Amino acid sequence: MLKTPYLLFLGDAHDQLAAKVAKGICDWRPEYAVGQLRLPGCNADLGLPDMTLDEAREAGAQTMVIGVANRGGVISESWKDVMVEALENGFDLASGLHNRLRDNPHLAATAAKYGQELFDVRIPNQTYPIATGEKRSGKRCLTVGTDCSVGKMYTTLALEKEMKERSMNVDFRATGQSGILITGDGVPLDAVIADFMAGAVEWLTPDNDPDHWDLIEGQGSLFHVSFSGVTMALIHGGQPDALILCHEPTRTHMRGIPTFGLPSLEEVRDLSLKIAQVVNADCKVVGISVNTASLNQEEAKKYLAEVENRMGLPTVDPYRQGAARLVDELEKIT
């Protein structure tokens, strides 16, 4: 578990998109984001106070989060001095980069010397059990998608926000690196050993109060041949009571595999439900979340209405409309 709050390191991010993870932290955990640290040439700005390491320490920051991605996911040479200095000044470091912090000898030695921790959130930091499938108390909702990167994390975080506003008993359960950096905890499921995937999801969503909801961040798609095994383990390990379908309407093929078209929402509904009912006979599909960022307001409205009418399920874009109508459906599950 990462120590909060964070100083967000934006490095020399060449645009706002390169600081996507830091933006996610500002959007969903603003209380964790005390300031930003930018290097010369940085073109991203989160609207947070620019801080030196000293100022951030003064403001209470405990972890410097590498909130920027660059080509290849490597640790840029120009970042190293400030990373070392952060460790020397009592910060932990957390990163979702492909290259691990702990594999950099200078960072590893400095962290050891100053008693600070290096969190590579792509790497599981523990072993997980084999799944038992035993029924757990509490309720669970899982987002499943027609494809990768269609808004499953966003939808799940939007559900959490709405449910917290309603004072519901709820936890977001991160299963990917961005989700883990944003919320400070979770399981990097795509990096778990095959035999333990479903067990890791069970571990992440243990027995809980009868009125408690685990909101499980979905990954991949049952129809994405590269990652479908991970999605399968999420459904069987997650034991969901409710599924929410996620979709991006302008995508012409599955992400990264151009010869594969997208499945229909009906296909995703039917296959996900069939698989979920192996482990929870009462599982229901309760709503649909559509990422309409590529549509104008009129097109979006029309598209959402068409899907809602066709599927007979509340259909929203949580970015435009919030997740209230989806949460209304979750509230009906007792």
229 lines the binding site for its own copies (CB under 8 A): yes
C-alpha dihedral, 295 to 301 to 304 to 306, nearest 10°: -110
Query: Residue 271 Cβ, how far from its own copies at the closest point, in Å?
Result: 6
What does the alpha-carbon distance between residue 35 and residue 5 come to, in Å, rounded to a whole number?
10
Contacts of 19 (CB under 8 A, 6+ apart): 8, 10, 13, 44, 46, 67, 68
* Token pair belonging to 41: 């040439």
108 lines the binding site for its own copies (CB under 8 A): no
**Between 176 and 314, whose beta carbon lies closer to its own copies?**
176
Quick one: which of 50, 185, 190, 329 contacts its own copies (CB under 8 A)? 190
228 lines the binding site for its own copies (CB under 8 A): yes
What does the alpha-carbon distance between residue 46 and residue 26 come to, in Å, rounded to a whole number?
8
* Token pair belonging to 75: 């640790």
**Between 47 and 258, whose beta carbon lies closer to its own copies?**
258
Selected range binding its own copies among 28-36, 94-102, 148-156, 190-198, rule: CB under 8 A: 190-198
CA distances from 327 to 67, 122, 212, 216 (A): 30, 30, 13, 14
Binding-site size for its own copies (CB under 8 A) equals 38
Site track for its own copies across 119-148, x = CB under 8 A: -----------xxxxxx-------------
Quick one: which of 126, 252, 259, 297 contacts its own copies (CB under 8 A)? 259
**How would you label 48-58 residue by residue, b for 16+ Cβ within 10 Å and e otherwise?**
beebebeebbe
Place of tokens 């599950």: 333
Contacts of 305 (CB under 8 A, 6+ apart): 315
99 lines the binding site for its own copies (CB under 8 A): no
225 lines the binding site for its own copies (CB under 8 A): yes
Query: Residue 83 Cβ, how far from its own copies at the closest point, in Å?
Result: 26
283 lines the binding site for its own copies (CB under 8 A): no
Selected range binding its own copies among 106-114, 223-231, 288-296, 300-308, rule: CB under 8 A: 223-231
252 lines the binding site for its own copies (CB under 8 A): no
Selected range binding its own copies among 18-26, 42-50, 231-239, 289-297, rule: CB under 8 A: 231-239
Q: How far apart are the first and last CA of the chain?
A: 31
**Between 108 and 275, whose beta carbon lies closer to its own copies?**
275
191 lines the binding site for its own copies (CB under 8 A): yes
**How would you label 128-150 residue by residue, b for 16+ Cβ within 10 Å and e otherwise?**
beebeeeebebbbbbbbbbbbeb
Contacts of 38 (CB under 8 A, 6+ apart): 10, 11, 12, 13, 44, 45, 50
* Token pair belonging to 270: 């039917």
Query: Residue 183 Cβ, how far from its own copies at the closest point, in Å?
Result: 20
Quick one: which of 82, 271, 273, 324 contacts its own copies (CB under 8 A)? 271
Query: Residue 283 Cβ, how far from its own copies at the closest point, in Å?
Result: 13
The residue ranges that bind its own copies (CB under 8 A) are 130-135, 189-195, 197-199, 222-223, 225-233, 236-237, 257, 259-260, 263, 271, 274-275, 278-279
